[in-house]
A and B are shown apart, each in its own frame.
Chain A
Amino acid sequence: MNQYLDLFLTFARIGGLTFGGGYAMLPMLQREVVEKRGWASEEELMDYYAIGQCTPGIIAVNTATFIGQRTAGIAGGIIATLGVVFPSLIIISVIAAFIQNFADLAIVQNAFAGIRVCVCVLIFNAVVKLWKKSVIDKPTLCIFLVIFIGSAAFDISPIIFVLLAALAGILLKNKEAAAK
């Protein structure tokens, strides 16, 4: 299949199947992009997420642009991004036009309460996979714990964590090199 079409359709599927924002997209990305198509490795996906956190814009869009660019250049980046927003355009326009009280419907509220449980489990499984690839020694374990606890317990912008972690990575590796 045409690579651009494949990018568009894959990201449209990811956008249309993601419930609950950028983080909930991760299990879908792991399945569609890393495991099925090999467009990026688990590590690269993590890099894109980290950068997507501290650059302007929506994480899901930033990640789509990254993977599209990596797979098929600038046009690929644009097409993947258009793909990821396409289902939203259709679904939201239909709801906005016809169903004013969509979020108040009992069936919608109950379905989403069920979906949230599933999203929680899927994110947990995704984190386990990321953990295996990223927490490889004591310093990386420290970074993980500090940021997990800091981000879960305090209302601090992720940008600060991401910048500090990048700096820590550079300093730790420099120290390691100096010790050798």
Chain B
Amino acid sequence: MMIYLQLFFEFFKAGLFAIGGGMATLPFLYDISDKTGWFTYGQLADMVAISESTPGPIGVNMATYVGFTTAGVPGSVIATLGLITPSIIIILIIAGFLKAFKDSKYVQNAFYGLRPASAGLIAAAGFSVFLLVLLDLDAFAASGNFADLVSIPGLILMAALYYFTAVCKKTKGLHPVVFIAASAVIGIVFRFGGV
């Protein structure tokens, strides 16, 4: 019983103080490892890798994994509930507040500035994935050859996906998961990961 309470409390803390997305929970996980010895840094690195290569929010995946490693299926549920409880409480309060003040000029004017900011932040996140996908800086640094810098297959797939998701009228209405599944198959067939 104690371990469940402790799991809930530790992840509640991570959910309360980690601001700005899944990876922000990582320092809290290191802290839990130091304090409790439930898992090692090495195990944590594996958990991060798996959380990034499975569907779902990365922070939730990590909480589930740590909870499972520590205390089985009940542990995974409790750690995840601990992580999301602060979010639920805080967002419900803010949502109520917004509803009450949605006609306020200040709230509306703040959103006038927030919306392009939100678009800019998302664009920057997309740009970092873009660099990760298209540029192989390690290979370039090793060979000094510009042909190694840009991933040609990645570029071709990207152009094709853009055509099918945004230009071609017949296919652009398809559910995004269709394109994700197709990309996974292409990645496997053409060994995009290089292994």
Measured between beta carbons, the chain B residues less than 8 angstroms from A115 are: 180, 183-184, 187
Binds A, one of B2-10, B53-61, B139-147: B53-61
Given contacts A93-B68, A111-B188, A120-B126, contact A22 B57 (CB under 8 A): yes
Measured between beta carbons, the chain B residues less than 8 angstroms from A43 are: 111, 115
A118 B119 Cβ-Cβ under 8 A: no
Mask of A100-135 contacts with B, CB within 8 angstroms, 1/0: 101110111111111111111111111110110111
Write the nearest CB–CB distance from B134 to chain A, whole angstroms: 8
Measured between beta carbons, the chain A residues less than 8 angstroms from B15 are: 56-58
B176 A134 Cβ-Cβ under 8 A: no
Interface of B is mostly: helix
Q: How large is the interface on B (under 10, 10 to 19, 20 to 34, 35 or more residues)?
A: 35 or more
B87 A61 Cβ-Cβ under 8 A: yes
B113 A144 Cβ-Cβ under 8 A: no
A104 to B46 CA separation, bound complex (whole angstroms): 9
A59 to B60 CA separation, bound complex (whole angstroms): 11
Given contacts A56-B18, A112-B53, A151-B120, contact A69 B113 (CB under 8 A): no
In this assembly, does A172 line the interface, its C-beta being within 8 Å of a C-beta of chain B?
Answer: yes
Write the nearest CB–CB distance from B129 to chain A, whole angstroms: 5
A121 B113 Cβ-Cβ under 8 A: no
A46 to B68 CA separation, bound complex (whole angstroms): 34
Q: Which of A56, A84, A110, A167 contacts B193 (CB 8 A)?
A: A110
A147 to B57 CA separation, bound complex (whole angstroms): 24
Write the nearest CB–CB distance from A70 to chain B, whole angstroms: 7
Measured between beta carbons, the chain B residues less than 8 angstroms from A52 are: 91
B91 A84 Cβ-Cβ under 8 A: no
A66 to B96 CA separation, bound complex (whole angstroms): 10
B118 A49 Cβ-Cβ under 8 A: yes
B55 A15 Cβ-Cβ under 8 A: yes
Q: Which of B51, B91, B118 contacts A134 (CB 8 A)?
A: B118
Of residues 41 through 74 on chain B, the ones whose CB sits less than 8 Å from some CB of chain A are 46, 49-61, 64-65, 68-69, 73
A116 B56 Cβ-Cβ under 8 A: no
Measured between beta carbons, the chain A residues less than 8 angstroms from B77 are: 89
A47 to B111 CA separation, bound complex (whole angstroms): 7
B176 A106 Cβ-Cβ under 8 A: no
Given contacts A114-B183, A169-B109, contact A85 B84 (CB under 8 A): yes
Of residues 123 through 162 on chain B, the ones whose CB sits less than 8 Å from some CB of chain A are 123-130, 132-133, 154, 157-158, 161-162
B residues bordering A, Cβ < 8 Å?
Answer: 15-23, 25, 46, 49-61, 64-65, 68-69, 73, 76-77, 80, 83-84, 86-88, 90-92, 94-96, 105-106, 108-130, 132-133, 154, 157-158, 161-162, 165-166, 175-177, 179-180, 182-188, 190-195
